[in-house]
Amino acid sequence: MNGKLYVARSSEIAARRLGEEMMIMSGRDSTLFTLNEVATAIWEAADGATALDEIVERDICPVFEVPLDVALRDAQSLTEELAGHGILLISDKPIQGSRSDPGPSGKG
């Protein structure tokens, strides 16, 4: 990954945590996604101000015991896919005005 990549949650979505997974519906095409624990951690940390590599290093590698290079590659692939559905915003600069709170979680 060359340079910093910033990711932010789009406000054009619906989202809720169901157990350990995050359910997200794209506002663009109503596609429903289930994010696993790792993807959920990235999505929840996507505040627009923290670079993706920092998120991965801080929230993914120590928790899920994944090597940094592998985690970073997977994270970039995931964020690009989610961005393609309008679920995440990606920029090489910090993203202003994005939500700082990922919203409540349903614990049942």
Contact residues for other proteins, defined by CB under 8 A: 11-19, 21, 23, 25, 27, 30, 32, 34, 103-108
Residue 101 beta carbon to other proteins: minimum distance, rounded to whole angstroms: 9
Integer Cα distance of 80 and 19 in angstroms: 25
Contacts of 52 (CB under 8 A, 6+ apart): 1, 4, 5, 6, 7, 42, 72, 75, 76, 79
- Taking the least distance from each CB to other proteins, the nearer of 62 and 108 is 108
- Taking the least distance from each CB to other proteins, the nearer of 29 and 65 is 29
- Taking the least distance from each CB to other proteins, the nearer of 94 and 102 is 102
Residue 16 beta carbon to other proteins: minimum distance, rounded to whole angstroms: 4
